[in-house]
Amino acid sequence: MNDILRATGQHIVIVAIAVAAATVAGVPLGIWCTRRTATARAVLRAVDVIQTIPSLALFGFLIPIPFIGGIGPRTAIVALILYSLLPIVRNTLTGIRGVDRNVREAGVAMGLTARQLLFDVELPLAMPTIVAGVRIATVIAIGVATIAAAIGGGGLGDLIFRGVAMVDTRLILAGAIPAALLAIAADVLLTFAERAILKTWG
């Protein structure tokens, strides 16, 4: 039982750090993409390609890279950040592009500066879509993080890998069930946040 709690705690920490870092990087990247179409295409292609790399392979690729690589949770976090970028960048872009033309035009015509337009109009209106991106990224990261145990990342994957090696179904379930519950909890919580934002608009 203690094992399960410790592994769950590690799992949460790894995912939380990765998704937070991906949000800090991905939202500005998404905003930047809305300003230049050519950049948008290149950036989206890049994060798309990262997403298609099988997770075990991505962990493997990162191990030999100096500073970010090696065995341990740090490499796992880097890989999870890369995976989490796509939904966050894409949803930031979609959310801002989805702001009603008339609303944006009225803002510009009233003399909002580009910065005011972004922070007072575009980002608040894109927020539910951005939060949805963070939600998707979190759910994916919770699943992918179980594989991080293969490179010594720790977390619930440890229990699953040990269970597989020992052909112990109970041990596998001890890792898999908390991981599934975490994913469901994150999904419910962040869906609630999206709804709460939408509700404040009446």
Partner 1 sequence: MDPMSASVELRDVSVDGILYDVNLTIAADETVALIGRSGAGKTTALRTMNGLVRPSGGEVFVDGTALASTDLIALRRHTGYIIQGVGLFPHRSVYDNVATVPRLLGWPEERIRAAASDMMRDIGIPLERFGTRRPSLLSGGEQQRVGIARAMIAGPALLLCDEPFGALDPIVRRELQDVFIAMRSGVTIVFVTHDLGEALRVCERVVLLDAGRIVSDTPALNFTSEPEPLAQQFVAAARL
Which residues in this chain contact partner 1 in the complex, by CB under 8 A?
100-113, 116, 121, 124-125, 200-202
Q: Which is nearer to partner 1, 99 or 147 (CB)?
A: 99
Q: Which is nearer to partner 1, 1 or 110 (CB)?
A: 110
- Minimal distance, residue 121 CB to partner 1, in Å: 6
Nearest to 141 by CA among 69, 58, 38: 58
- Minimal distance, residue 200 CB to partner 1, in Å: 7
- Minimal distance, residue 125 CB to partner 1, in Å: 6
- Minimal distance, residue 113 CB to partner 1, in Å: 6
Q: Which is nearer to partner 1, 2 or 200 (CB)?
A: 200
CB 78 within 8 A of CB 65: no
CB 170 within 8 A of CB 163: yes
Distances from the Cα of 135 to the Cα of 66, 88, 143, 190, angstroms: 31, 9, 13, 6
Burial of 195 (0-12, 13-18, 19+ CB in 10 A): exposed
| Triad 15, 176, 55: Cα angle to 5° | 50
Q: Which is nearer to partner 1, 9 or 98 (CB)?
A: 98
